[in-house]
Amino acid sequence: MGLSDSIIKDHRELEDYYNQIVNATDDDTKIRYQNQFTWELARHSIGEELLVYLAFEEHLGQEGKRMADRDRQEHQVVKEQLAEFQGMKPTDANFIPTIQSLMGNLSKHMKEEENEDLPSLEKALSPEDSDKPEKSFRRTKMFLHFPARNPHGTG
């Protein structure tokens, strides 16, 4: 599995957790997937910021730096929304609108990565070069194996 495959797999998992949240019929399920979404998005974002964006800069020159800077800015917006969402209860009136807004920004970011950034990086890497950052990405996420804590005492 190459780096792009690992990142795209994470993106699909995040979309699944989002769908579980918005389609849940009870608060316990919403909280469980809120925690899962928060945890996975935090781990994924850290892995990208520590490894993937550096690979953009290292292998793609000025264009890679531009891509990494844009992606970091997009991550900052999503992180701020995630912090707000994590502190909410499912009974809050803005619970679903907040995750919908967050997911709207995240979906745009993921689409850019999948359709533009990652293909550019993969073209610049040999298969061996793609395996190394992919293993580092997975390893980094493994070391960040901390459960999301819900401030409401659940999870």
Spell out the domain ranges in the chain.
3-143
Alpha-carbon torsion, ordered 99, 100, 105, 107, to 10 deg: 100
Q: Is residue 60 pLDDT above 90, yes or no?
A: yes
CATH topology of domain 3-143: Four Helix Bundle (Hemerythrin (Met), subunit A) (1.20.120)
Q: In the chain, where does DSSP find H-type helix?
A: 3-23, 27-47, 53-86, 95-112, 118-124, 127-143
Q: Which residue type is seen at 50?
A: L
More confident residue, 79 or 136: 79
C-alpha 8/C-alpha 131 separation (Å) is 15
Specify the pLDDT at position 125.
84
Specify the pLDDT at position 51.
85
C-alpha 143/C-alpha 118 separation (Å) is 23
| pLDDT tens for each residue of 62-101 | 999 999 999 999 999 999 999 999 999 999 999 999 999 9
Distances (CA, A) of 114 to 12, 110, 111, 143: 11, 6, 5, 25
| pLDDT tens for each residue of 20-32 | 999 999 999 999 9
Q: Which residue type is seen at 133?
A: P
Contact yes or no for 127/2 (Cβ under 8 A): yes
